Amino acid sequence: MNLFQKLALDAGPILRALTRSRAGAVLIALQCAITLAIITNAIFIIQDRLKKMARPSGVDVENVFSMSVIPFAPNFDTKGSIEADLRALRALPGVVDAAVVNSFPLLQSGGSSMYAAKPGAKGEEYVGAARYEVDAHTLNTLGLKLIAGRDFREDEIRGREINSQYENPVAILTKAYAEKMFPPDGNAVGKTLYDGNQVAIPIVGVVERAQAPWISWGELEYSAFFSNYRLSFARYIVRAAPGERDRLMPQVEKLLSESNSGRLIESMKSQTDIEARTYGEYRAMAIILVSVIVLIVIITGLGIVGLASFNVNARKKQIGTRRALGAQKGDIVRYFLVESWLITTAGAVIGAGLSFGLSYWMVNTFDLPPLDWHYIPVGVCFLWVLGLVAVLVPARRASQLAPALATRSV
């Protein structure tokens, strides 16, 4: 008789015995069910977060850094200062390019607007996009990949005050936004975008990808760049040659603070730090969930060990009797393994339902994606392994009990 046949043979009477003496087993099965529901959903959420964290922002993350520019001197020549600063930055050895922007991908601060693909569009024909107000060096500085049309020309760039209208703007869209606005092929170059004020904005190019500033935004890759940069609340972005970023950051700070005392340079950060901070909440949640998983697995494992140990102690005489009747040590180990497997399987069946229930609740409450069913069989297998590993030590201890216990008072 092979091992599988032996296991199947054991299962019947053990199951019948469990149904008659079920309090401890039911509690452990429920614990397993809750464990399965929590770990499947937690792992699913972690995976979801990790996937989101792994999405490319479109930016040359390793080499870009940025800073805020805050003018404070009276009658400050903002436009002249920005032009002078950018000239100085671009002239620094090790700098690939520098630009002025209102925001950039994953900054967690910026603006968005609704645009339509035709004049006089109705409400539902407008689609929101992250609004990047930039200069002609922005695409190169961020390291964005132009896949259609062209970059902005210097003669198209205007500096504007925050509340003023766009002045002859042209736009570059991300591929995702272009496909949304001009389906099905997203061929946007040469076409026109209309804002809420019916300003016509010719589209001159399409970039492969540039995420919005906010990761919580539903359409993260709907972004549009406009050839009007802002004179107030401007930010400089700098792209360093590979390996030069960390050397350049303090040098840039020193250069700008010494060159003009009418404005503050602050919040100098690498794009690596910005993206890490932006995803900090996701990372923290993943760490917390992993901790919860580890904790609950330990608690469930200990529960199984505890029940099995209790059963071994309570059944010493029975184990001795089984040994006296011909059970080999392996038969005793197998008995406890099968018993644990049956309990965890019962827990897994309940837990599968609970997993979907919990997922359904989280979908409706926290707007999370629904649980992928593939996590259930993986979770069940994990639960089986946990149950078998946890019961192994008590089972081996039981197998060491002497058959002579059958004739003793225990």
Partner 1 sequence: MLQMTHISKVFRTDLVQTHALRDFSLNVKEGEFVAVTGPSGSGKTTFLNIAGLLETFDTGTYLLDGKDVSHLSDDSRSRLRNEKIGFIFQGFNLIPDLSVFDNVDVPLRYRGFDGKERRRRIEGALEQVGLASRAKHLPSQLSGGQQQRVAIARALAGTPRILFADEPTGNLDSLMARQVLEMLEEINSSGTTIVMVTHDPELARRAHRNIHVMDGQVSDFTDFSQASAARDALAA
Q: How far is the CB of 21 from partner 1 (least distance, A)?
A: 5
**Closer CB to partner 1, 47 or 328, in the complex:** 328
Q: What distance in Å separates the CA atoms of residue 197 and residue 166, rounded to the nearest whole number?
A: 10
Q: How far is the CB of 8 from partner 1 (least distance, A)?
A: 11
Report if residue 123 touches partner 1, rule: CB under 8 A. Answer: no
Q: How far is the CB of 23 from partner 1 (least distance, A)?
A: 12
**Closer CB to partner 1, 277 or 317, in the complex:** 317
Contact partners, residue 135, CB within 8 Å, separation at least 6: 86, 99, 100, 101, 152, 157, 227, 229
Q: C-alpha distances in angstroms, 208 versus 17, 243, 262, 391? A: 64, 25, 38, 54
Q: How far is the CB of 314 from partner 1 (least distance, A)?
A: 11
**Closer CB to partner 1, 393 or 402, in the complex:** 402
Exposure on the CB side of residue 403, measured as CA atoms within 13 A: 10
Report if residue 8 touches partner 1, rule: CB under 8 A. Answer: no
Report if residue 1 touches partner 1, rule: CB under 8 A. Answer: yes
**Which part of the chain contacts partner 1 (CB under 8 A), choosing from 5-13, 34-42, 194-202, 297-305?**
5-13
**Which part of the chain contacts partner 1 (CB under 8 A), choosing from 58-66, 82-90, 241-249, 396-404?**
396-404
Q: How far is the CB of 397 from partner 1 (least distance, A)?
A: 15
Can you tell me which of 20, 154, 366, 367 binds partner 1, judged by CB under 8 A? 20
Q: How far is the CB of 50 from partner 1 (least distance, A)?
A: 46
Are the C-beta atoms of residues 209 and 58 closer than 8 Å to each other?
Answer: yes
**Closer CB to partner 1, 218 or 326, in the complex:** 326
Can you tell me which of 11, 17, 276, 392 binds partner 1, judged by CB under 8 A? 17
Q: How far is the CB of 345 from partner 1 (least distance, A)?
A: 19
**Closer CB to partner 1, 79 or 396, in the complex:** 396
Q: How far is the CB of 347 from partner 1 (least distance, A)?
A: 20
Q: CB atoms < 10 A from the CB of 91, how many?
A: 10
Report if residue 79 touches partner 1, rule: CB under 8 A. Answer: no
Q: What distance in Å separates the CA atoms of residue 239 and residue 96, rounded to the nearest whole number?
A: 5
Count, residues near partner 1 per rule CB under 8 A? 29
Q: How far is the CB of 308 from partner 1 (least distance, A)?
A: 16
**Closer CB to partner 1, 6 or 90, in the complex:** 6
**Closer CB to partner 1, 55 or 315, in the complex:** 315
**Closer CB to partner 1, 299 or 314, in the complex:** 314
Report if residue 175 touches partner 1, rule: CB under 8 A. Answer: no
Report if residue 406 touches partner 1, rule: CB under 8 A. Answer: yes
Report if residue 23 touches partner 1, rule: CB under 8 A. Answer: no
**Closer CB to partner 1, 91 or 410, in the complex:** 410
Q: C-alpha distances in angstroms, 399 versus 313, 318, 323, 333, 339? A: 12, 12, 9, 6, 14
Q: Can you tell me which residue has the tokens 């950060």? A: 269
Nearest Cα to Cα of residue 383 among 336, 333, 341 = 341
Q: How far does Cα 8 stand from its chain's mean position?
A: 43
Query: In the chain, count of helices (H) and strands (E)?
Result: 11, 13
Report if residue 402 touches partner 1, rule: CB under 8 A. Answer: yes
Nearest Cα to Cα of residue 42 among 323, 292, 232 = 292
**Which part of the chain contacts partner 1 (CB under 8 A), choosing from 15-23, 139-147, 255-263, 359-367?**
15-23
Strands 263-270 and 171-174: unpaired
How far does the chain reach from its first CA to its final CA, in angstroms? 33
Quickly list DSSP for 196-250: TT--EEEEEEEES----S-TT-SSTT-EEEESEEESSS-EEEEEEPTT-HHHHHH
Q: What distance in Å separates the CA atoms of residue 295 and residue 2, rounded to the nearest whole number?
A: 37
Q: What distance in Å separates the CA atoms of residue 72 and residue 371, rounded to the nearest whole number?
A: 52
Which 296-335 positions form the footprint of partner 1 (CB under 8 A)? 317-318, 321-331
Contact partners, residue 365, CB within 8 Å, separation at least 6: none
Q: Which DSSP category does 374 fall into?
A: T
Report if residue 404 touches partner 1, rule: CB under 8 A. Answer: yes
Q: What are φ and ψ of residue 147, in 5° steps?
A: -115, -10
Q: Which residues lie near partner 1 (CB under 8 A)?
A: 1, 9-10, 13, 16-18, 20-21, 317-318, 321-331, 402-404, 406-409
